[in-house]
Amino acid sequence: MRIGYADPPYIGCAYLYRDQPTYAGEVDHADLIARLNTEYDGWILHAAATTQSIRTIGPLIGDNVRWCSWVKPFAAFKRNMPIAYAWEPVLIKAARKPVVKPGMVYRDWISEPITMKRGLTGAKPERVCHWAFELAGAERDDELHDLFPGTGAVTRAWDSWRKQISLFERA
């Protein structure tokens, strides 16, 4: 199976990456989601917890997409912002139904601090990626495409996830 992993610059934040060699301006989320739906069996999409982001992305996704949450117990606090952005939506369209052992249940949220000094704002922690891979029903022989490779954190997380012994081995 082919799984797409999209962690694009959040809507209105592309300017933060203008010095990157792959900078292409604001991401066309309609095009991105259409690509995820046509080219991949399952996918993961990170988004911002802003009204603009949710209003833009919400109508674009179809059925069978789960809105999950990455809760950040340690997050960046911004000047003049009375409420911190301490969570983000993670949309997951599973490539296959995750199979878990009796008594095990996946959560549709994860609590994990943000990464620091990883090279780019927004680089994802390995544990968040592992959680998303599991919810997407990924298997070790699947093909993962990191559509916004940035620091390479997602690809490294995929490599480490594929090497570990999962608690949720497929039957």
State mean pLDDT over 17-21: 74
> How far is the C-alpha of 96 from the C-alpha of 1, rounded, in Å?
9
pLDDT at 165: 59
3-state helix, strand, coil in the chain (%, to 5): 25, 20, 55
> If you average pLDDT over every residue of the chain, what do you get?
87
Residue 64 has pLDDT above 80, yes or no: yes
Rounded average pLDDT over 120-139: 89
- Domain spans of the chain, in order of start: 2-162
pLDDT of residue 154: 95
The H-or-E segment that residue 92 falls in is strand 87-93
Question: Which of the four pLDDT bands, split at 50, 70 and 90, describes residue 122?
Answer: low
Q: Which one-letter amino acid corresponds to residue 166?
A: S
120 and 150 in contact (C-beta within 8 Å)? yes
Output the CATH code of domain 2-162.
3.40.50.150
Q: What integer pLDDT is reported at residue 102 of this predicted model?
A: 78
Residue 45 near residue 36, CB atoms below 8 Å:
yes
